[in-house]
């Protein structure tokens, strides 16, 4: 495992799922970590657990809506004053929207595009001056396989995700002169609160999670026969965020268990 002692990492949407798994892995690697989310109670609970698990690390948890530039700017200032300049930024926010072209109205299009783009744009803009101070700087954007392999029942999310994949490449090109690498991951189906809630609503109450999710994986043609685990996505994120991938920028790692069909 790489040593991140003395490095400051920022994870948006870091209080659950893939974001929290990434926070844990960064702390295990020696980094000091700032995480944000919108649920104050959840953040407090997670922060208490993390402080107990990693007593030697500096951990900062703050409420922040990444769609509000003022809140993001304040979060960036707090990170700098309490932990120092960020060297790693993980942009991780936003779930998918199930809708077809026919049933997606203008407001829904605007909301989806705003969420997917500005959840990356606002944190990147706010933390860029700090990242520019580091020879180690990296940005990783958590994206979906929908960016390269769209689904008709998720038309708005697919289009927005494709735009974010393009944005990652554009930022990587522009920021290369600053020594900042920008990469992303493309997620398939990963065990999450969303899938756990669907499992709780299953028709056959005797069906185990393993059987239910395995059946789902089969229907979705996932070659590895199961949903991904948050920590598996986190490993790909941390790889891209550290010198383990020091000669990689403008790229995406496919974390989909083999379900991808794109070239």
Residue 250: per-residue pLDDT:
98
Burial string for 158-182 (b: 16+ CB within 10 Å, else e) reads bbbbbebbebbbebbeebeeeebbb
**Rounded Cα–Cα distance for residues 85 and 104 (Å):** 41
The secondary structure of residue 9, as a DSSP letter, is: E
Residue 65: per-residue pLDDT:
96
- Beta strand ranges found along the chain (DSSP E): 8-12, 32-37, 59-63, 88-91, 138-144, 181-187, 252-255
> Residue 147: how many CB atoms within 10 A of its CB?
24
Residue 95: per-residue pLDDT:
76
Q: pLDDT, tens digit, for every residue of 132-178? A: 999 999 999 999 999 999 999 999 999 999 999 999 999 999 999 99
Residue 93: per-residue pLDDT:
73
Q: Specify the domain boundaries for CATH 3.40.50.720 within the chain.
A: 8-188+230-255
Residue 45: per-residue pLDDT:
97
Protein fold of 8-188+230-255: Rossmann fold (3.40.50)
Low pLDDT (below 70) residues in the chain? 262-263
This prediction has a pTM of 0.95
């Amino acid at each position: 495992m790489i040593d991140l002692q003395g490095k400051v990492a920022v994870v948006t949407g870091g209080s659950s799922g893939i974001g929290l798994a990434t926070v844990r892995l960064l702390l295990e690697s020696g980094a000091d970590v700032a995480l944000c989310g919108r649920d104050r109670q959840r953040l407090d609970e997670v922060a208490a657990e993390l402080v107990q698990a990693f007593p030697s690390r500096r951990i900062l948890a703050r409420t922040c809506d990444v769609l509000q530039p003022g809140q993001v700017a304040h979060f960036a200032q707090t990170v700098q004053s309490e932990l120092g300049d960020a060297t790693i930024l993980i942009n991780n926010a936003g779930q998918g929207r199930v809708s077809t072209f026919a049933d997606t109205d203008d407001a829904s299009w605007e909301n989806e595009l705003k969420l997917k783009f500005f959840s990356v744009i606002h944190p990147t803009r706010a933390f860029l001056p700090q990242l520019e101070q580091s020879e180690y700087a990296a940005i990783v954007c958590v994206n979906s396989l929908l960016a390269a392999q769209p689904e008709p029942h998720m038309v708005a999310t697919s289009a927005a995700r494709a735009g974010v994949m393009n944005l990652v490449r554009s930022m990587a090109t522009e920021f290369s002169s600053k020594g900042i690498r920008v990469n992303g991951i493309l997620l398939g189906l990963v065990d999450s609160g969303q899938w756990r809630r669907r499992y709780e609503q299953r028709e056959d109450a005797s069906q185990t999670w393993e059987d239910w999710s395995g059946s789902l994986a089969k229907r979705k043609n996932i070659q590895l026969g199961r949903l991904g685990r948050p920590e598996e996505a986190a490993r790909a994120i941390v790889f891209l965020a550290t010198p383990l991938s020091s000669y990689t920028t403008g790229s995406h790692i496919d974390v989909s268990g083999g379900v991808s069909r794109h070239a």
